[in-house]
Amino acid sequence: MSNIFELDDSQLIEEFVQGSQRLLASPHLRLEVNGGLSQLLGRNGDPIAIMYLHNQPRTAIVKQNTHFSELIDRLSIARDFVMFGDASRAGFSEYKHYVPPAGYRIWYTEPSTLWKKWWPTERFQDKQRFNLDILVNFKDNWYPVQNIIVNAGKFTIKTIAGQLVLNRNEKVLWLAQIMQKNAEIAENIQQLIPTTVAQTPALVGINPPPADLAKKIHQKQLEINPDQAWSIIKKLEQKLQAQIKLNREIEAKFTRLESRAMIAEQRLQIAYKYLQKIGVNPRDIYHSQKNTEN
């Protein structure tokens, strides 16, 4: 007699995220579909996540602070879902599924993050064509950003179809073009990773390791004593969380430094424009100061 639990919990969640309409079960979860509604239920029958299959874009709500919340979040984001915050149903978070165009990555952030990404690409663009490096979602379509004006804490994002006006603490959905070279490198690395490592659930959503490191990981997997597996897993999880925390701290410091550099650059441009306006060539001041120092 076959086991009705053909899938483990993470595999069942993956089926749910992909929009499966089959009746499935795992040791702690079951998937039920009725019409356009897919429900991921716990042992007590309470919904842990609900997918509205016929919505455009496809929408899911996920119960917060459950044993499976973090795993559902990770697998959903890996499948191009975007978390929009609290859902209309109390205690649930709302996710929407978008398929980004080839060569783009989707973001849902505060407008300041969009501005930081857009500004460097905009300064050197040929004004005779649209800047397709950054696209913003407006009226359920993607449009190139024509301009972003920041004034008194408000961000006005202009497109050919209209403009968005957002406060600094609101969020905007946008696309950033991925460098093709980086994408090709990532694809080549992925092909070199052993299948057992690439498909490990704990690595979903994390950048794949280099091939030589993946080989070492695979060798270590074969050497693990089953009796010691749980303690090893806990230690590795702790190391992973510590490294993630460190990475976030480094990223935050880099963002602050990047912002300071942008501010310094803007002030320098303002100074140059002022000097040009009053008829002073900045180069003359530069050469004069160099001669004085020498």
Note the pLDDT tens digit of each residue in 111-140. 999 999 898 877 655 555 567 888 999 988
Same domain, 93 and 120: no
* CA gap 184, 187 in Å, rounded: 5
Q: Is the pLDDT of residue 87 over 90?
A: yes
Residue 235, domain member (yes or no): no
Token readout for 151 is 């004034």
Question: Between 291 and 183, where is the model more confident?
Answer: 291
- Which pLDDT score is estimated for 127? 54
Question: Between 199 and 82, where is the model more confident?
Answer: 82
Residue 28, domain member (yes or no): yes
- Which pLDDT score is estimated for 206? 42
Q: Is the pLDDT of residue 285 over 70?
A: no
Q: Is the pLDDT of residue 204 over 50?
A: no
Residue 286, domain member (yes or no): no
pLDDT in tens, 15-44: 999 999 889 999 899 999 988 899 999 989
> Which domain covers residue 60, as residue numbers?
9-97
* Cis peptide upstream of residue 57 (ω within 30 degrees of 0): yes
Same domain, 92 and 55: yes
Q: Which residues of 149-180 are buried (b: 16+ CB within 10 A; e: fewer)?
A: eeeeeebebbbeeeebebeeeebbbbbbeeee
Residue 195, domain member (yes or no): no
Q: Is the pLDDT of residue 175 over 70?
A: yes
- Which pLDDT score is estimated for 205? 38
Rounded percentage of the chain residues whose pLDDT exceeds 90: 35
Q: Which of 115-119, 190-194, 230-234 has the lowest mean pLDDT?
A: 190-194
Residue 77, domain member (yes or no): yes
Residue 194, domain member (yes or no): no
DSSP tally for the chain: helices H, then strands E: 8, 14
Rounded percentage of the chain residues whose pLDDT exceeds 70: 65
pLDDT in tens, 247-271: 777 766 766 666 666 666 667 667 7
* CA gap 37, 76 in Å, rounded: 17
91, 85 in Cβ contact below 8 A? Answer: no
Same domain, 118 and 83: no
- Which pLDDT score is estimated for 197? 36
Same domain, 48 and 67: yes
What's the whole-number mean pLDDT along residues 75-87?
91
For the chain, the domain total comes to 2
Token readout for 82 is 């975007």
* CA gap 138, 16 in Å, rounded: 29
Same domain, 13 and 93: yes
Select from 74, 97, 120 the last residue of a domain. 97
Same domain, 92 and 127: no
- Which pLDDT score is estimated for 31? 94
Residue 266, domain member (yes or no): no
Select from 79, 97, 115 the last residue of a domain. 97
Same domain, 74 and 16: yes
- Which pLDDT score is estimated for 48? 95
CA distances from 108 to 101, 245, 260 (A): 16, 21, 23
Same domain, 41 and 120: no
Strands 154-159 and 92-97 come out as unpaired
